[in-house]
Amino acid sequence: MTEKAEDRKPLLSKKIDKFFTGLADAWNFVRRFFKEVFIPPYEFKEVVHQCYRIGVESLPLIALTGFIVGIVFTNQSRPSLSEFGATSWLPSLISIAVVRAMGPLVTALIAAGKVGSSIGAEIGSMKVTEQIDAMEVSATNPFKFLVVTRVLATTFMIPVLVMFTDFVALMGSFLSVNANENVSMLTFFIQVFDAISFLDIISSVLKALLFGFTIGIVGCYKGYNSSKGTEGVGRAANAAVVMAMFLIFIEELLVLQIVNAIRMM
């Protein structure tokens, strides 16, 4: 409790030591989350409040980006497909691209930038201005009230936002396909749903849950451990985004391997 790991004599080099103590710190933070999330009292009201905030904060940006991604991706794919006279495949192609990869990834990256940084900054500034201590002395568990609620909120909300992104992107794509290939909405969406399987949807949702958890826990961790001063808060927000984005790509890669392995079976 009293002696921090950094105060000890370095075992290897200071940098390597710091890396591993940092890793252990982060691991303990995650473990603490899983411990406290199941112990009552549950902060339902605060979770709902955070969900609402996350939704409102990121919806406009996600809607715009999703829409543009849908249109752009469709228009970029058209020339290659038309070389083979296969533009009728557009809806299926877009559907697979959006549901399997682009929807979750685009949503998560935008949310990491928007939500992750705001969580990092908010908790960081609460830390350095002793608001977290103030909570603690008024007999409220700040980890539960601030961290658990936010992580739950991002974990629930990112899948919802992903579905929204998927929908908006497909709508964007539809507008383009409808204008150029004269495909009706019904035909378009029949092709869209034909192309994706149950596994695609499940893996998309699971991925979204994982991304959401990552964004929340990284933002909270960076904020909770931000160093003193306003500079520390800025750094925490920044580190939250960078770290979350990095982890999201790694997770995307891992999940892709697993899902493809399942698909082969």
Would you say 32 or 78 has its CB closer to other proteins? Answer: 32
Residue 51 near residue 115, CB atoms below 8 Å: no
| 130 belongs to the binding site for other proteins (CB under 8 A) | yes
Dist. CA 156–CA 161, nearest whole Å: 9
Task: Tokens for 242, please give them.
Answer: 């960078």
CB neighbourhood size of 88 (10 A): 13
Q: How far is the CB of 75 from other proteins (least distance, A)?
A: 43
Would you say 4 or 15 has its CB closer to other proteins? Answer: 4
Dist. CA 164–CA 166, nearest whole Å: 5
H-state helical runs in 37-148: 44-83, 90-96, 103-111, 117-128, 131-137, 142
| 182 belongs to the binding site for other proteins (CB under 8 A) | no
Among 155, 138, 145, CA closest to 123? 145
Positions in 3-42 near other proteins (CB under 8 A): 4, 7
Exposed, middle or buried, 149 (CB in 10 Å: 0-12/13-18/19+)? buried
| 180 belongs to the binding site for other proteins (CB under 8 A) | no
Q: Running DSSP on this structure, what letter comes out for residue 37?
A: T
Would you say 3 or 83 has its CB closer to other proteins? Answer: 3
List 21, 75, 92, 140, residue binding other proteins (CB under 8 A): 140
Q: Considering Cα of 178, then 182, then 185, then 189, what sign does the dihedral take?
A: negative
Name the one range near other proteins by CB under 8 A: 72-80, 131-139, 232-240, 254-262: 131-139
| 56 belongs to the binding site for other proteins (CB under 8 A) | no
How many residues belong to the site for other proteins (CB under 8 A)? 18
List 23, 64, 86, 134, residue binding other proteins (CB under 8 A): 134
The type of residue at 131 is: Q
List 138, 182, 253, 264, residue binding other proteins (CB under 8 A): 138
Identify the H or E element spanning 116. Answer: none
| 125 belongs to the binding site for other proteins (CB under 8 A) | yes
Q: How far is the CB of 138 from other proteins (least distance, A)?
A: 4
List 11, 12, 56, 137, residue binding other proteins (CB under 8 A): 137
Residue 86 φ then ψ, to 5°:
-115, 30
User: Residues interacting with other proteins, by CB under 8 A?
Assistant: 1-2, 4, 7, 122, 125-126, 129-131, 133-140
